Each structure stands twice: as C-alpha cells, then as structure tokens.
C-alpha cells in the first residue's frame, strides 16, 4: 500500500494550506443548512400530535446529542493514530475536537432538560441515558483539563490519547442505554435499518439540521486546527514567513 498520501496528510504545513481552501465552502454550507433546518423546524413543521410544539426542541437536541457521541468516537480514532503512528496532526485534531464536543454535549443536556420539563414533568432524572451523557461531558472536561495540567507536549498528547480511549467504553452505554434499562428517555428516533417513524414534514428539517451541525463541526474544527498548527509551529520558517507575508509585520 502506498502510504505517501497518509504521511502528507499528517503534515501540518500541507494541511494548513489545503484547509484554507476548504474552510469558506465548509462554513457557507454549514450556515445555510443549519439555518434551513432550524427555521423549517421552528416555523414550518407541523406540531407533534402528542407533545405539541415542545417537540421543536428536537431540531437542536438530536443533532447535538449525535455529535456529542460522534465527536468522542472521532477523538478516539485520533488517539489511536497518535499512539500508533505518532502523527502530529492527529493530536492537534484530538486537542481541537474536545472543546467543540463538550459544547455540543452540554447543549444536548440543556436542551434535553428543558424538553423534559413539559414532556416528563421534570428537568432531570438519574436514568441511564441522562447519566451516561453527563459522564460523557465529564470525560470531555477531563481530556481538556489533563492537557492543561501537563507541561511536556509529548507526554500530554500520550496521556490525553490514553484517557480518551479509556472513556470510549461509555459510548455503547449511551447508545444502548435506552434498550438495556427502563428509562424515561424515548428510543432512537432515527435508525439506519428501519423506516423512520417520523412524519416526512418533521423528518426533513431534522435531517437537514443534523447535516448542518456536522458541517458546522467540520468548519469550526478546521478553524481551530489551523490556529493550533500556527501555535505549535511558531518557530518554523514557514509559519514565520506566512505571518510576515500575509499579516504584515
């Protein structure tokens, strides 16, 4: 197998230049689909026959909850690449994904709590889905705090990768919590194998909103990674030349 592409992709300089071309497109697509999905869901979709209008929180809750788990899995992928191949860019990605993932996890918990009040009559219960999501939030905070606590960059990268991998055990617990235990939280709204139980007028805005949030994640991740690359490579000639040329010194 030809590994040149893989190694090239792992080069911060190469990534910086290429991602500069992606970013405007990614950002525009993200903004358009988020606005389309959320405005459609908020203003145009019909109310739910059982929950009325409170269900409109779904257009924020489901995309952020999906991403909270998905981002953690991507961090675990980056952790493996960091530990096995020691690709610098993978650790940059891991570092930059953590705050974004934690913000989505927090938003999923808040939107869930507000939705719970009119639906279940309570903001919070210590049931399996809610508790495992709270643990996910603490795992995110743990990874962020661990990096801040270790001075050596290589040790920090290794420690964060290991902690991320240990925490992966929580992801299947979140996924199957609604099946394994008796919980207040409803089962999956969308599955890959079954036809969605949702009406089409609600399903489309939800899918567009999910797409929008994924694109938004991609855009802000690229944005953060580019800055972190400049930060880490500040002593290299290419960064100094770039800053001197483009930003004028």
Partner 1 sequence: MYFQDVSSLLHMDGHGLYVWPTYGIGLLIIAYNVLAPLRHRKQVISQIKRQIQDVRRRGVE
Summarize as ranges the residues that interact with partner 1 (CB under 8 A).
34, 38, 42-47, 52-54, 56-57, 60, 64, 99-100, 103-104, 106-107, 110-111, 114-115, 117-118, 216, 220, 223-224, 227, 230-231, 234-235, 239-240, 243-244, 247, 249
Handedness of CA 14, 95, 75, 182 (dihedral sign): negative
Minimum distance, C-beta of residue 93 to partner 1, in the bound complex (Å): 14
Minimum distance, C-beta of residue 190 to partner 1, in the bound complex (Å): 19
Between 174 and 222, whose beta carbon lies closer to partner 1? 222
Minimum distance, C-beta of residue 115 to partner 1, in the bound complex (Å): 7
Minimum distance, C-beta of residue 129 to partner 1, in the bound complex (Å): 18
Between 46 and 148, whose beta carbon lies closer to partner 1? 46
Between 81 and 100, whose beta carbon lies closer to partner 1? 100
Between 28 and 231, whose beta carbon lies closer to partner 1? 231
């Amino acid at each position: 197998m030809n590994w040149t592409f893989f190694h090239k992709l792992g080069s911060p300089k190469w990534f910086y230049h290429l991602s500069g071309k992606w970013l405007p497109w990614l950002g525009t697509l993200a903004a358009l689909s988020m606005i389309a999905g959320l405005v459609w869901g908020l203003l145009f979709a019909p109310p739910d026959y059982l929950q009325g209008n409170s269900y409109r929180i779904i257009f924020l809750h489901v995309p952020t909850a999906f991403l909270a788990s998905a981002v953690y899995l991507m961090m675990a992928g980056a952790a493996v690449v960091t530990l096995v191949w020691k690709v610098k860019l993978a650790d940059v990605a891991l570092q930059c994904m953590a705050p974004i993932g934690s913000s989505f996890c927090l938003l999923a918990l808040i939107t869930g709590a507000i939705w719970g009040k009119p639906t279940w009559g309570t903001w919070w219960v210590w049931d399996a889905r809610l508790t495992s999501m709270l643990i996910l939030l603490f795992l995110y905070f743990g990874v962020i705090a661990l990096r801040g606590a270790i001075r050596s960059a290589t040790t920090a990268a290794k420690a964060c990768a290991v902690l991320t991998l240990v925490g992966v055990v929580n992801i299947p617990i979140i996924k199957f919590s609604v099946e394994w235990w008796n919980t207040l939280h409803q089962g999956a709204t969308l599955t890959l194998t079954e036809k969605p139980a949702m009406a089409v007028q609600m399903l489309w805005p939800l899918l567009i909103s999910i797409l929008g949030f994924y694109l938004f994640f991609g855009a802000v991740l690229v944005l953060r990674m580019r800055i972190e690359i400049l930060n880490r490579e500040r002593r290299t000639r290419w960064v100094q030349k770039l800053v001197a040329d483009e930003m004028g010194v």
